[in-house]
Amino acid sequence: MSLQIRRATPADADAVSAIAVATYTETFGDSYPPQDLQAFLHDHYSPGPQRRELEDPRSAVWLLEDAGQAVGYLAAGANTLPHADAGADDVELKRLYVLASHQGGGHGARLMEAFLQWLDHPLRRTLWVGVWSENFGAQRFYARYGCVQVGTYDFVVGDSRDLEFILRRP
């Protein structure tokens, strides 16, 4: 059965949280001491904060499902990336996560296309994306959609400070 994409609602908070925790841990988990990782996942990716994001009228979240089971998601919302040129109505791609078991099959691209369709209608809006400076695969992925590095900032997990690139699609 092919994978389906649909807009998520607050009722999907548990599923979205589970994907965020699993993908973040399998992708970046080795980079942080376990207690810092757990605190970060609890503060940002547990069902509570994920539900608040889903309830935010400026947020939009797309869920990727395999036979009704969530295997990926894309979350967008009001931009919070620190850049002098950011405008009040600009949109930030907050998270794009596909479980490792389902990566490399074009599903990330399909989530991105559903999001861009929303972003560009009725008017094309400016898109901001924060990406880890060493996540070369994701940087290649975003470059395909016209995202260009325009700045940097520090992403804080516990005592770790990671250099992040700020990308913009004008």
Ligand X SMILES: CC(C)(COP(=O)(O)OP(=O)(O)OC[C@H]1O[C@@H](n2cnc3c(N)ncnc32)[C@H](O)[C@@H]1OP(=O)(O)O)[C@@H](O)C(=O)NCCC(=O)NCCS
Q: How far apart are CA 90 and CA 117, in angstroms?
A: 15
Q: How far is the CB of 105 from ligand X (least distance, A)?
A: 5
Cα 17–Cα 21–Cα 22 angle in degrees, nearest 5: 115
Site for ligand X in 139-168 (CB under 6 A): 140-141
**Of 107 and 168, which CB lies nearer to ligand X in the complex structure?**
107
**Of 13 and 108, which CB lies nearer to ligand X in the complex structure?**
108
Tell which residue, 52, 48, 49, 76, has the closest CA to residue 62.
Answer: 76
Contact flag: residue 25 with ligand X (CB under 6 A): no
Site for ligand X in 44-83 (CB under 6 A): none
Count residues contacting ligand X (CB under 6 A)?
18
Site for ligand X in 105-134 (CB under 6 A): 105-109, 131
Containing H/E element for 157? Answer: strand 148-157
**Of 85 and 109, which CB lies nearer to ligand X in the complex structure?**
109
Q: How far is the CB of 78 from ligand X (least distance, A)?
A: 18
Q: How far is the CB of 115 from ligand X (least distance, A)?
A: 11
User: Three-state DSSP class for 5?
Assistant: strand
**Of 14 and 109, which CB lies nearer to ligand X in the complex structure?**
109
Q: Output the DSSP codes for 60-128.
A: EEEEEEETTEEEEEEEEEE-----TT--TT-EEEEEEEE-GGGTTSSHHHHHHHHHHHHHTSSS---EE
List interacting residues with ligand X (CB under 6 A).
Answer: 23, 27, 96-98, 103-109, 131, 135, 137-138, 140-141
